[in-house]
Amino acid sequence: MTNPGVELQELIAAMEQRRTRVEQGGGPERLKKQRDGGKLTARERIDVLLDPGSFLEMGTFVEHRGGRLMQGVDAPGEGVVTGRGTIQGRQVFVFSQDFTVLGGSLGKMNAAKVTKIMDMAARTGCPVIGLNDSAGARIQEGVDSLSGYGEIFYRNAVYSGTVPQISAILGPCAGGAVYSPALTDFILMSGGSSYMFITGPEVIKSVTREDVTFDSLGGADVHTRKSGVAHLEYDGDEAVLAGVRDLLGYLPQNAREKAPSQPTSDPADRTNEKLLDIVVPDQRKPYAMHAVIHELVDDGTFLEIQPNWAKNIVVGFARLNGESVGIVANNPRVMAGTLNIDASDKAARFIRTCDCYNIPILTLVDVTGFLPGVAQEHAGIIRHGAKMLYAYAEATVPKVTLITRKSYGGAYLAMNSRDMGADVVYAWPTAAVAVMGAEGAANIVYRREIAGSDNPDATRAQKIAEYKDAFDNPYVAASKGYIDDVIPMEDTRRVLIQTFAMLRDKEEARPYKKHGNIPL
């Protein structure tokens, strides 16, 4: 102790040395392999995701717990980087799995780092972002690693609906590394470099003898087009991380708050003459529902969620006069906008996500009904369609419905009619509300008359015309109060903005329950 200054320098140097060792993850070779694969490293991802200089790391020096098979195994940082930072000035918690350290596999202490920041996020009311690049449970740690996943899944579920949880999938994620994301609100994947599967190609080959590549088993294309597991696909890590930032802008910090307003120069009273060219009155002619949405919302900006899966329904976020809104819309261009199993699942999930996070819902209706067919019935369209009915009825956020054209039968109810809890229902003059289309209705109701007539075709045409006159318009429903107003199309943006402003402080109490029992 003759020269205390030197000792302090040594302590500092030792700390720096340890820190550098942790920051180097699995070492230069594995880091190079990671980069050669077109991926960023765990730390680079955090830098790209967060506002510059905002990251505060936690658990830097955590080490694995040992155990027989972990003797002598070096796992810098325990294979995951954790901490807090900000995105557009708002605090978020983040964990970034480091594939260069034992494949980003999850052991007990790796899980402890993750659950620590999940707990802090829940206590402080901030989103959790997981940057996933992990081979799943760490094989060497056995039941301890399973326990680690259990602790994470438990929190994913308990904090669901409390704070937004967003998962970016940025590498080959297997086993537990996919079930945790599946319990979160959104999954974003990078095309070509990320995969999600419960069991990989080798196991599949040995069990079912199926030959399959990583990509065709669980690539971004599969999960954003076929399985519906993931919500958004991007090209590369940077784009995924930019997507996370964008998505968060539509969400509040937690379930007690509203999403942040975003000032816009797009006038609240901008008229929508363009709609007159987009929507044709002929009920059989499809039109671009996306174009309708772009015309109505601020600056034409729409973040579509699951754009390539169940395309017969369109869901996503936009803003009206700066306020975040969730949009659910039929897509007349795909399967005539009918509702099937996947569309029902997609819409129900999105409605519940909006409701969790106090995001008002705008529903745009142009639907003939649920998709008929043996396959749909046998696969449980009743059970799945019921999710939509349930989700709309359950949601207490402001709900505004606009019937753009046809709204028939059960789908009229499933698309948030007045009776299902819509606060306000509007229709355009092009709208038609009925139990079914005029052709089908005339054939059923006037079957005998048509069959017994001298000229069945003429009688059928006459009955169809009579039925259309009586029901294929919005005025019967409006006369009974099911529609609050039939509005000029070009006035729609102003009307919607004023209506959501009116409903902004809406509160709706529900009877006591532990939780509802949505059909799954």
Catalytic residues: 175-176, 410-411
| Burial 408-433, CB ≥16 within 10 A → b, else e | bbebbbbbbbbebebbbbbbbebbbb
CA atoms within 13 A on the CB side of 82: 25
- Select from 324, 330, 516, 355 the least CA-distant residue to 411: 330
CA distances from 113 to 73, 79, 93, 436 (A): 19, 10, 12, 56
**Minimum separation from the CB atom of position 22 to ligand HXC (A):** 17
Cα 443 to Cα 201: distance, rounded to the nearest angstrom: 53
Q: Which stretch binds ligand HXC (CB under 6 A): 87-95, 139-147, 378-386, 392-400?
A: 139-147
Question: Considering only residues 188-207, where is the footprint of ligand HXC by CB under 6 A?
Answer: 200
Closer CB to ligand HXC, 146 or 212, in the complex: 146
Report, in Å, the least distance between residue 106 CB and ligand HXC: 7
- Residue pair 205/197 in contact (Cβ under 8 Å)? The answer is no
Min dist. Cβ of residue 519 to ligand HXC (A) = 24
For residue 172, state whether it binds ligand HXC (rule: CB under 6 A): yes
What tokens appear for 419 in the block?
């009776």
Which of 138, 319, 406, 460 touches ligand HXC (CB under 6 A)?
A: 138
Pick between residue 80 and residue 497 the one whose CB is nearest to ligand HXC: 80
Q: Is 65 helix (H, G, I), strand (E, B) or coil?
A: coil
Give the integer Cα–Cα distance in Å for 460 and 453. 9
Q: Given candidates 42, 102, 354, 381, which one binds ligand HXC under the rule CB under 6 A?
A: 102
Site for ligand HXC in 423-462 (CB under 6 A): none
Least distance to ligand HXC from the beta carbon of 100, Å? 7
CB 308 within 8 A of CB 342: no
Of the residues 55, 93, 95, 149, which one makes contact with ligand HXC according to CB under 6 A: 149
Our CB check for ligand HXC shows the closer of 137 and 329 to be 137
Q: Which is nearer to ligand HXC, 174 or 289 (CB)?
A: 174
Residue of the chain from 34, 41, 96, 105 that contacts ligand HXC (CB under 6 A)? 105
CB 288 within 8 A of CB 296: no
**CA dist., res. 174 & res. 181, Å (int):** 11
Q: Is 226 exposed, middle or buried (0-12, 13-18, 19+ CB in 10 A)?
A: exposed
Output 85 or 172, the one with its CB closest to ligand HXC.
172
Q: How far is residue 453 from each of residues 22, 459, 460, 464, 467, measured CA to CA in Å?
A: 87, 7, 9, 15, 18
- List of residues 6+ apart from 427 with CB closer than 8 A: 402, 403, 433, 474, 477, 478, 483, 485, 486, 487
Q: Which is nearer to ligand HXC, 135 or 168 (CB)?
A: 135
Fill in the amino acid letter for 431: A
**Cβ 120 to ligand HXC, closest distance in Å?**
24
Per-residue binder mask for ligand HXC (CB under 6 A), 18-37, x = binder: ------------x-------
Stretch that binds ligand HXC, among 173-181, 185-193, 279-287, 405-413 (CB under 6 A): 173-181
CA angle 499, 501, 505 (to 5 degrees): 115
Does 94 sit near ligand HXC (CB under 6 A)?
Answer: no
Cα–Cα dist 419/284, whole Å: 27
Q: Which residue number, 168 or 389, has a Cβ lying nearer to ligand HXC?
A: 168
Specify the stretch interacting with ligand HXC by CB under 6 A; choose among 88-96, 168-176, 404-412, 491-499.
Answer: 168-176
The smaller minimum CB distance to ligand HXC, of residues 138 and 384, is found at 138
Decide if 297 contacts 477 (C-beta within 8 A).
no
Distances (CA, A) of 233 to 113, 191, 195, 324: 28, 6, 12, 22
Residue 103 makes contact with ligand HXC by CB under 6 A: yes
* Of positions 47, 57, 147, 179, contacts ligand HXC by CB under 6 A: 179
85-93, 98-106, 259-267, 476-484 -> range binding ligand HXC (CB under 6 A) = 98-106
Q: Is residue 137 at the binding interface for ligand HXC, with CB under 6 A as the rule?
A: yes
How many residues sit close enough to ligand HXC to count as binding (CB under 6 A)?
18
User: Which window, 131-139, 250-258, 382-390, 438-446, contacts ligand HXC (CB under 6 A)?
Assistant: 131-139
CB 334 within 8 A of CB 368: no
Per DSSP (E only), the strands in 6-55 are: none
Q: Does 148 bind ligand HXC (CB under 6 A)?
A: no
Contact positions with ligand HXC (CB under 6 A) in 292-331: none
Pick the closer one to ligand HXC by CB: 59 or 175: 175
Q: What are phi and psi of 426, to 5 degrees?
A: -115, 160
Instruction: Give me the residues that bind ligand HXC (CB under 6 A), please.
Output: 30, 102-103, 105, 135-140, 146, 149, 172, 174-176, 179, 200
